[in-house]
A and B are shown apart, each in its own frame.
Chain A
């Protein structure tokens, strides 16, 4: 069953000169499937995600269609926002994007539980603690009373993921979820994301420039260049041998530990 269907999505920015960041993109994400959009800076991948999540800048216009479980996400404010709230979760590059700095972590999590599922305060607090344990945050009960700045980068990202999961989404949008983290922490967070998607039956739409992240998480890969998708294939096929020359160049450019003297 197709969870997310993007058709002929185009994103234009007005200005001098006007810029077309995304140029007629088609993409689908099936239930429980992990799809990665890979591209370098300027490829338009972030703008693609912003259009889907309603976070485009004021001078941006999105045309085309983005449907989540049949509901159109572009355009109509309220309906789209409701859908985004319950069906889709977001994980950003910098956890500071999702976490309010002046509120305690427990309060932020409980607020979503109450809003999404109509829970009482006690139930919401219990659910928050359960979710923090789910994301393997050490010492979960204590963390509920802490503020975001008291945690390290990796722990904050775990909290951000917990926040995204509170509303039990069926689809997770992740924008460079590990780029700001150290490589050892990155590995942990990737493992966490893979585990959660598997156990909770979530689909994942991941946007990144890092092929290592793609290799770890993706079932299917879409390569983006200059606003267009130049290649789509399964992960196995991609790493065996990409067909498009840009994809091949991208793969070849990644520094590896193999073949050292």
Chain B
């Protein structure tokens, strides 16, 4: 049985002024097993953060079902859901913003225990918070300081400690390394790998950086404008992508090698036509940007269909390139 299951989940925001709605998340289905680390990749505005927040019940669902261990949790009221928060935790994006500036690190890390483990005495809470901070590599004297006195990397470690203090089963990691320097990113990613190995946590790892996601997660979902467009193992997704958007993402990853300039020259030589960013009314959301678009794409919305192995892809033409799409610009 899956740990977490989403069926047809949609989240909508009302548009001020013009009226109508923006579907930030538009009919998303997936299931996550225990101990599984699932990656969710997409660019800004694709709805990946909103999806993470919807799972944590920080935003209401406009449609669909959310199931935790088979039980529906989207229909629970806030009070009934609260004890379940012990099992679903979150590591946020901006460590400078997600810690209360008026509380010490130790206090912030111990805070969830006050609400979610009411029976534990204060001394117990403090010692458990200390243990978690040790686990993530924050020294005792740092724990007594305030957020503005710590560096970004140290703060993110504290945020991870806070997520772990209630011993959750599942953690949403929302862009946990995007705001950090690259050497610090490396340390935090290693930390997450180690913790995941030791605790066997299930996790939804959200990022715009495909390389980081592919390193940590066995399975990767690609999201575009509120819809999941491709799901597959990390090797398959990165070497033989089936959806044109996944291909575009891969092509855009700037390599850090000497061949990068040559690739860029070739890119200049065959420029992509400038395309509009607008989402079409009907049909595939990617139709306006897709180099392989046909008439059917503008009329009929593709659904996630199984492809080779355990892969899923939402594209009408995916069967035409079973070995994956080649790069648009050779190199």
Q: Which residue of A lies closest to B211 (CB)?
A: A255
Q: In whole angstroms, how far apart are the Cα atoms of A139 and B268 in the complex?
A: 20
Q: Is the interface of B mostly helix, strand, loop or mixed?
A: helix
Q: In whole angstroms, how far apart are the Cα atoms of A209 and B180 in the complex?
A: 11
Tell me, yes or no, whether B250 is within 8 Å of chain A by CB: yes
Please state if A191 and B268 are interface contacts (CB–CB under 8 Å): yes
Q: Which residue of A lies closest to B277 (CB)?
A: A152
Please state if B182 and A260 are interface contacts (CB–CB under 8 Å): no
Q: Which residue of B lies closest to A184 (CB)?
A: B252
**Chain B 199-241: CB-based contact to A (< 8 A → 1; otherwise 0):** 0000000001111101100000000000000000011001000
Q: Which residue of B lies closest to A239 (CB)?
A: B258
Q: Of residues B249, B254, B257, which shows the largest number of chain A Cβ atoms within 10 Å of its Cβ?
A: B254
> B253 CB to closest chain A CB, in angstroms?
6
> B248 CB to closest chain A CB, in angstroms?
6
Q: Of residues A137, A191, A194, A261, which shows the largest number of chain B Cβ atoms within 10 Å of its Cβ?
A: A191
Contacts A191-B268, A215-B256, A215-B260; A182 near B208 (Cβ below 8 A): yes
Beta-carbon contacts under 8 Å, B242-276 to A: 248-258, 260-261, 264-265, 267-268, 271-272, 274-276
Q: Which residue of B lies closest to A261 (CB)?
A: B235
**Chain B 127-158: CB-based contact to A (< 8 A → 1; otherwise 0):** 00000000000000000000000001000000
Tell me, yes or no, whether B183 is within 8 Å of chain A by CB: yes
Tell me, yes or no, whether B29 is within 8 Å of chain A by CB: no
Please state if B252 and A187 are interface contacts (CB–CB under 8 Å): yes
Q: In whole angstroms, how far apart are the Cα atoms of A184 and B189 in the complex?
A: 23
Residues of A within 8 A of B215 (CB): 255, 260
> A120 CB to closest chain B CB, in angstroms?
30
Which residue of A194, A215, A249, A260 is within 8 Å of B257 (Cβ)? A215
Residues of B within 8 A of A56 (CB): none
**Chain A 177-200: CB-based contact to B (< 8 A → 1; otherwise 0):** 000001110111011001100000
Please state if B261 and A216 are interface contacts (CB–CB under 8 Å): yes
Please state if B256 and A211 are interface contacts (CB–CB under 8 Å): yes
Beta-carbon contacts under 8 Å, A161-218 to B: 182-184, 186-188, 190-191, 194-195, 209-217
17 A-B pairs (CB sep. < 8 Å): A40-B183, A41-B181, A182-B208, A183-B209, A183-B252, A194-B268, A212-B253, A215-B258, A217-B264, A235-B261, A240-B258, A254-B182, A255-B209, A255-B211, A256-B256, A257-B210, A257-B211
